[in-house]
Amino acid sequence: MSDVAALSQQLLHCSPDALVAVDARGRIRFANDTVRIVFGHVPDDLIGQPIDVLLPERFRARHAAHLAEFHEAPQSREMGSRVADLYARRADGSEFPVGIRLAPFEWQGERFVAAAIRDATERRAVRDALVAARAEAERANSAKSRFLATASHDLRQPMQTIRLLNAAMRRLASGCPDIIELLHREELAIEGATRLLDGLLDVSRLESGAIQPQLDEVPLAAVFADLQREFDSVATAKALRLEFAEIGVTLSTDRLLFTQLLQNLIGNALKYTERGAIRVTARLDAEHLEIGVEDTGIGIPADKLERIFDEYYQVDRVGAPRLGVGLGLAIVREVSRILGYPVTVRSTVGEGTRVVVRVPRQALRPDRSNTAHAAAPIAGGAARGRLVLVEDNPSVRSATELYLTVAGHSVLGAASPGEALALAPQLRPGDLLLADYRLGTDMTGIDLLHRLRETLGWELPAVLLSGDLDSLLRVVKAPIPACRFLGKPVDTGALTAAIAELGDALVAADGTGG
């Protein structure tokens, strides 16, 4: 025997896999030395025995048919569609998972199948661990999503109660400056707690993967107009200029996420700017729409730039109070990741900061924006009819009813959709529905609105409140006429404005003025 042949024989017997050659009748004609390690059989003792001796009994009946099929269309292939399909039997009767590779060959005019068999116990254990880990991750993610949905509603309910009671007390204490000052401080604490809660829920929801972008055509001018209205009062209170670029561009994007990204950038700029201006710019280049948020604030040290997008991190302001909890830019990081809009920051200490959001050109659409409708003013008249308040939480219902009564509204309270439907015969044009979206039953606030409109035969206007407004707005695909959506804890000014807007719209529609 030549040296090469001898080496080949040695390699064959010392292969890391157990190697057997099986003839067309299913008899073992060769077994290498590794068979002893893998199966516990003496290789020579297997020669002439049926291959079934290496199989668990439950597989033997099917194996003959599989062997015949293989000989009809012989080709090298992996045996079994999944690791879990294949098991072998040791000499002591124990079973273990295996991976098997088959290869047909002919020798001295006979057909054979070479089988390379590897113990897959460790591989199977790793696979099972990965499957279990994935299942556990999916369970945890599902539990987190359920928690966020519940937390968005339930954690905001007490905040709703406190905010409404504070607003009612401020109205009642209009002639007592000392009490008004205390209530103002309480209001600031409520706002701080609300921002913390919103930030925590937003970051958790974004990181959980529970949010997928819902693309729509969004005029940039309309988004800028909304942001101008939202932040104008904050800028005015600090004697800052808030300027937005004028540009006719429409994006294919998720309006809620895109707006949330800019909200946090502008809010952050206002927070750290005491003089000068915040400018929101927009510029098209060959590859991107660049949206910039520039401020003339305190700036960020170079060694801190990498950390500003971390949760709870805030740039040190020596001698100044801590502002917020440091979640705004963490939300920006997550939203930019989801949308695929890179965000970069440049800053000079004492001069200001410029944050740039780059929207890829392929996300732009032909502009159909109409800034007039985006900036439509909200009417300021008073409600002409009664308010049907539907809220299943007693404390929130009581606080809301107190605030609305103090604000001069006539209120009909209902603790459930059933109670609200029972009030239908008393309703008349000019009345308005104010309802929570989640009412503790299978019927939502939207379902209740549709039922009431069907029963009444006319378009009852409505304001619907939700502790998870972003998710609700994703569910509502088409606008609902004469219906406004507000988030909890509700801003009493926004609530009053929405009620007045709907009331004025009704008056304008019927032309009666009352």
**pLDDT tens per residue, range 379-405:** 333 445 899 999 988 888 888 898 899
Q: Which tokens is 159 given?
A: 């905040």
Q: Which tokens is 475 given?
A: 């569910």
Is the model's pLDDT at 473 over the cut of 80?
Answer: no
- Pairwise CA distance, residues 376 & 378, whole Å: 7
Give the pLDDT confidence score for residue 318 in this predicted structure.
43
Same domain (yes/no): 418, 353: no
Model confidence band, residue 5 (pLDDT cutoffs 50, 70, 90): low
- Pairwise CA distance, residues 59 & 34, whole Å: 23
- Pairwise CA distance, residues 90 & 23, whole Å: 21
Spell out the residues 6+ positions from residue 189 whose beta carbon is closer than 8 angstroms to its own: none
Same domain (yes/no): 392, 349: no
Is the model's pLDDT at 362 over the cut of 60?
Answer: yes
Give the pLDDT confidence score for residue 231 in this predicted structure.
87
The answer to whether position 136 is within a domain reads: no
Helix (H) or strand (E) holding 18: strand 18-23
Count of alpha carbons within 13 Å of 373, Cβ hemisphere only? 5
On average, the pLDDT of the chain sits at: 81
Is the model's pLDDT at 435 over the cut of 90?
Answer: yes
Mean pLDDT in residue range 206-222? 79
Q: What is the largest CA-CA distance in the chain?
A: 114
- Pairwise CA distance, residues 1 & 7, whole Å: 10
pLDDT tens digits, one per residue of 245-264: 988 899 999 888 898 889 88
Q: Which tokens is 501 given?
A: 């807007």
Higher pLDDT, 355 or 330: 355
Same domain (yes/no): 296, 412: no
Between 14-18, 341-345, 433-437, 504-508, the lowest mean confidence (pLDDT) is in: 504-508
Among 358, 367, 354, CA closest to 287: 358
| No. of helices (H) and no. of strands (E), the chain | 16, 19
Model confidence band, residue 328 (pLDDT cutoffs 50, 70, 90): low
Please calculate the CA angle 421-425-428 and round it to the nearest 5 degrees: 105
pLDDT tens digits, one per residue of 277-297: 999 999 988 889 999 999 999
Please name the residue that has the structure tokens 């088409």.
478
Give the pLDDT confidence score for residue 309 in this predicted structure.
67
The answer to whether position 409 is within a domain reads: yes
Give the pLDDT confidence score for residue 382 in this predicted structure.
40
Give the pLDDT confidence score for residue 146 in this predicted structure.
64
Mean pLDDT in residue range 206-227? 81
Domain's final residue, options 103, 119, 135 = 119
Same domain (yes/no): 301, 328: yes
Same domain (yes/no): 370, 392: no
Domain's final residue, options 119, 138, 163 = 119
- Give, as one character, the DSSP assignment of residue 439: -
Same domain (yes/no): 42, 101: yes
Q: Which tokens is 63 given?
A: 């194996």
Same domain (yes/no): 273, 407: no
Give the pLDDT confidence score for residue 81 in this predicted structure.
47
Give the pLDDT confidence score for residue 458 in this predicted structure.
92
Mean pLDDT in residue range 160-166? 85
Please name the residue that has the structure tokens 């309480």.
186
Query: Angle of helix 255-271 relative to helix 328-339, nearest 10 degrees?
Result: 150
% of residues, the chain, pLDDT over 90: 31
Mean pLDDT in residue range 118-144? 81
Q: Which tokens is 363 given?
A: 């996300």
Which residues on neighbouring strands pair with residue 355, listed in sequence order?
A: 293, 345
Is the model's pLDDT at 222 over the cut of 80?
Answer: yes
Between 51-55, 58-62, 400-404, the lowest mean confidence (pLDDT) is in: 58-62
Mean pLDDT in residue range 407-415? 91
The answer to whether position 186 is within a domain reads: no
Domain that holds residue 10: 3-119
Is the model's pLDDT at 167 over the cut of 60?
Answer: yes
Is the model's pLDDT at 153 over the cut of 70?
Answer: no
Between 206-210, 350-354, 359-363, the lowest mean confidence (pLDDT) is in: 206-210
Residue 438, by phi and psi: left (phi above 0), alpha (psi -120 to 50) or beta? beta
Instruction: Report in angstroms the alpha-carbon separations of 241 from 235, 257, 260, 307.
Output: 6, 25, 21, 28
The answer to whether position 47 is within a domain reads: yes
Whether the Cβ atoms of residue 208 and residue 148 lie closer than 8 Å to each other: yes
Whether the Cβ atoms of residue 266 and residue 226 lie closer than 8 Å to each other: no
- Pairwise CA distance, residues 466 & 473, whole Å: 10
Same domain (yes/no): 298, 417: no
Does this model's pTM top 0.85? My answer is: no
Between 165-179, 278-292, 347-361, the lowest mean confidence (pLDDT) is in: 165-179
Same domain (yes/no): 223, 370: yes
Among 268, 277, 250, CA closest to 345: 268
Whether the Cβ atoms of residue 201 and residue 259 lie closer than 8 Å to each other: no
Q: What is the CATH number of the domain that holds 419?
A: 3.40.50.2300
Whether the Cβ atoms of residue 29 and residue 21 lie closer than 8 Å to each other: yes
Give the pLDDT confidence score for residue 494 in this predicted structure.
84
- Pairwise CA distance, residues 463 & 440, whole Å: 18
- Pairwise CA distance, residues 82 & 98, whole Å: 10
Spell out the residues 6+ positions from residue 185 whose beta carbon is closer than 8 angstroms to its own: none
Give the pLDDT confidence score for residue 507 in this predicted structure.
53
Same domain (yes/no): 228, 367: yes
Is the model's pLDDT at 489 over the cut of 60?
Answer: yes
Is the model's pLDDT at 470 over the cut of 90?
Answer: no
Q: What is the CATH number of the domain that holds 68?
A: 3.30.450.20
Same domain (yes/no): 221, 365: yes
Same domain (yes/no): 238, 355: yes
Mean pLDDT in residue range 16-30? 90
Residue 513, by phi and psi: left (phi above 0), alpha (psi -120 to 50) or beta? left
Give the pLDDT confidence score for residue 442 in this predicted structure.
85
Please calculate the CA angle 8-9-14 and round it to the nearest 5 degrees: 100
Higher pLDDT, 20 or 149: 20
Question: What's the domain count of the chain?
Answer: 3
Domain's final residue, options 346, 374, 402 = 374
Sign of CA dihedral 445, 446, 450, 456: positive
Give the pLDDT confidence score for residue 41 in this predicted structure.
93
Helix (H) or strand (E) holding 464: strand 462-466
